[in-house]
Each structure stands twice: as structure tokens, then as C-alpha cells.
């Protein structure tokens, strides 16, 4: 068997084209605006933020990057989040992670108005997702993974999904989203025993552990679907958490790195920002807000 490639770059580009059309036809409205808070000098974060800004501008979403010195204190950062929450021209607010060690990410992410939390990292949105509430803003990577599976017409009902990694930004929300779509979900992590045997039982494998080429061919059940969220470098070359060449021989579908989940994450962030802007406009017209943060 040679796996079919789930081409995230192509699907993401179609999603961005659709978004650009929708944004273009909002009559008499301002463009949606995303604010990205970047603290410190992490080179990878700078690249991600640059890519997000470029992609936003291309579809007609305004993007303001707030670059802050890594000596900024927690209270000063909270103050900036509050200002963005109160700014009616800003529809989406994200804080690029990781944050410097002296800042508690939970405190910062919890301060983002849930209606503007387009990364879905505020525990309020994570909780709505866990409760299968449709108004949850779902974080971009899990949403992108689901979209890849849906576009390929992969049936999820009753399928055993094994997720390798329990992070708040990928493993846990992906588990909730697949559970909400009727998968039977197992979350594996660094303390899991017999990981390879567990993965071998999976119909769908999501590798999100940050270990280059960890998942080998003999870990994969014949015909399984393999989603690779890893972004690692070996000798300067990008690779995922899956040994792609090997796994292609046994899987039915596999995502490449680069060109798989990464571009989907950016496209879903843009979609979340557009949808948040639409919802905020609706709420303004109806003078109602559910989040407890808004002053109207």
C-alpha cells in the first residue's frame, strides 16, 4: 500500500481563497482585524507570526502585531490584553506561545475576551469544546486536522483515534474534537507504557509529541490514517513526529511535513477571526453578549 497524501497546503489555499471572497462581499463593513501579541525573541515564534500576518493580509484581514520585550511583567501584559479586549476595531486576539518563564500563560490566556479568543486557548472556550457546545471557538490546529479528515471523506464514527501528546494547544483539544465527532479516543503521552502497541490499535493516529520521526512503520495498523503535527529539524531539514517514508508504505492517508497540518492551522486561525468578527457584529446589532467581558 502507498498512502494518499493529505495535501494541507492545497486545502488551506482553497479555504483562504473562499475566505477572501467572503470578506470581500461584506457590504459597508470594516475588515476583520486580528491582533497578535509576540513577547520576546523566540526565532520560531517570529517566523510563525510573520506567516500569520502575511496570510491574514492576503485574505483581507487586518493584522496588528504587538511586539514586546521579554522583560515585560505579567501585569503590564494583562493591561495590553485588556486594551485589545476593549478595542472595538479588534476582532481577534492571540498571544503567541511560548511565553517567557516568568509569565503564567494560563493567567494571560484567561484574560482574553472569549469572543475574541480566536486561538481557542482561553479555558472558557476549551471548556465549551469539552462540553460539545457548538459556540466554542475551537483552536486552529485541531480544527485543521478535522477539516483534513473531512475533506478526504474519512469516516470517523466509532473509529479508534490515538493521540500522542497531551498539550493544551494540540493533544487535549484534538481529543475533545475527535470525541465530539464520535471517535473513541485514547490520549498517549511521555509516561504511556507500550506506546507502539497502543498506536498499532489505532484507526487514526495523531502525532503531536515533538519527537522527530518517532512513529515508525511497524507502529501503524495497515490502512490507518496518520496525522503528523510535529515540526522538528534533523540536520536543519524539517521533519515531523512520523517517519514519513516508512509510514507511507502501510497507512491509507498521511500528512506531510511541511505542507500538511501547518498550513491548515494558519487557515483555521483566519477562519476563526472572520467568524468571530461576524459574531461580534451580530451581537452589536442585537446589543447582547454572552461572555461577561463586554461592557455593552
Site string for ligand GUN, 165-204 (x = CB under 6 A): ----x-----------------------------------
CA angle 64, 265, 163 (to 5 degrees): 140
Per this entry, what is the length of the chain? 296
Specify the residue, 85 or 141, whose C-beta has the smaller distance to ligand GUN: 141
Site string for ligand GUN, 136-165 (x = CB under 6 A): ----xx------------------------
Specify the residue, 15 or 199, whose C-beta has the smaller distance to ligand GUN: 15
Check if 221 is active-site.
Answer: no
208 binds ligand GUN (CB under 6 A): no
Check if 52 is active-site.
Answer: yes
Check if 86 is active-site.
Answer: no
- In the list 77, 94, 177, 207, the residue contacting ligand GUN (rule: CB under 6 A) is 94
Distance, in Å, from the CA atom of 261 to the CA atom of 230, rounded to the nearest integer, reads: 9
Alpha helices in 70-229 (DSSP H): 74-86, 105-111, 123-130, 140-151, 171-180, 195-200
Neighbours of 139 (CB within 10 A): 28
User: What letter does residue 99 receive in the DSSP assignment?
Assistant: P
What's the order of all strands across the beta sheet hosting 184-188?
Answer: 4-5, 253-254, 225-228, 204-207, 160-164, 184-188
99 binds ligand GUN (CB under 6 A): no
Distance, in Å, from the CA atom of 65 to the CA atom of 13, rounded to the nearest integer, reads: 23
How many residues form the binding site for ligand GUN (CB under 6 A)?
A: 9
Question: Which segment (92-100, 192-200, 213-221, 241-249) binds ligand GUN by CB under 6 A?
Answer: 92-100
Specify the residue, 119 or 271, whose C-beta has the smaller distance to ligand GUN: 119
Neighbours of 257 (CB within 10 A): 23
Write the CA distances from 243 to 144, 161, 207, 219, 225, integer angstroms: 21, 19, 11, 10, 14
- In the list 5, 20, 26, 97, the residue contacting ligand GUN (rule: CB under 6 A) is 97
Say if CB 234 and CB 212 are below 8 A apart: yes
265 binds ligand GUN (CB under 6 A): yes
Active-site option among 116, 117, 119, 228: 119
Q: Which residues are catalytic?
A: 52, 96, 119
- Binding residues for ligand GUN, rule: CB under 6 A, are 94-97, 119, 140-141, 169, 265
Amino acid at each position: 500500500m502507498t498512502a494518499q497524501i493529505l495535501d494541507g497546503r492545497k486545502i488551506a489555499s482553497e479555504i483562504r481563497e473562499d475566505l477572501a471572497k467572503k470578506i470581500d462581499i461584506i457590504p459597508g463593513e470594516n475588515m476583520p482585524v486580528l491582533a497578535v501579541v509576540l513577547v520576546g525573541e523566540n526565532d520560531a515564534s517570529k517566523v510563525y507570526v510573520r506567516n500569520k500576518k502575511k496570510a491574514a493580509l492576503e485574505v483581507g484581514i487586518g493584522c496588528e502585531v504587538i511586539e514586546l520585550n521579554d522583560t515585560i511583567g505579567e501585569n503590564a501584559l494583562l493591561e495590553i490584553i485588556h486594551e485589545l479586549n476593549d478595542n472595538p476595531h479588534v476582532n481577534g486576539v492571540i498571544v503567541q506561545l511560548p511565553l517567557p518563564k516568568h509569565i503564567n500563560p494560563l493567567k494571560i490566556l484567561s484574560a482574553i475576551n472569549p469572543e475574541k479568543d480566536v486561538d481557542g486557548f482561553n479555558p472558557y472556550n476549551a471548556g465549551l469544546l469539552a462540553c460539545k457546545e457548538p459556540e466554542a471557538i475551537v483552536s486552529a490546529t485541531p480544527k485543521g486536522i478535522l477539516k483534513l479528515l473531512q475533506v478526504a471523506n474519512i469516516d470517523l464514527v466509532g473509529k479508534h483515534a490515538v493521540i500522542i501528546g497531551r498539550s493544551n494547544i494540540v493533544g487535549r483539544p484534538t481529543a475533545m474534537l475527535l470525541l465530539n465527532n464520535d471517535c473513541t479516543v485514547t490520549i498517549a503521552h511521555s509516561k504511556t507504557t507500550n506506546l507502539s502497541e497502543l498506536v498499532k490499535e489505532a484507526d487514526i493516529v495523531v502525532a503531536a509529541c515533538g519527537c522527530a520521526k518517532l512513529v515508525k512503520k511497524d507502529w501503524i495498523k495497515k490502512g490507518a490514517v496518520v496525522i503528523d503535527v510535529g515540526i522538528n529539524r534533523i540536520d536543519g531539514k524539517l521533519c515531523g513526529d512520523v517517519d514519513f517514508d516508512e509510514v507511507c508504505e502501510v497507512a491509507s492517508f498521511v500528512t506531510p511535513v511541511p505542507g500538511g497540518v501547518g498550513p491548515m492551522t494558519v487557515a483555521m486561525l483566519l477562519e476563526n477571526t472572520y467568524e468571530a468578527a461576524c459574531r461580534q457584529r451580530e451581537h452589536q446589532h442585537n446589543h447582547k453578549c454572552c461572555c461577561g467581558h463586554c461592557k455593552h
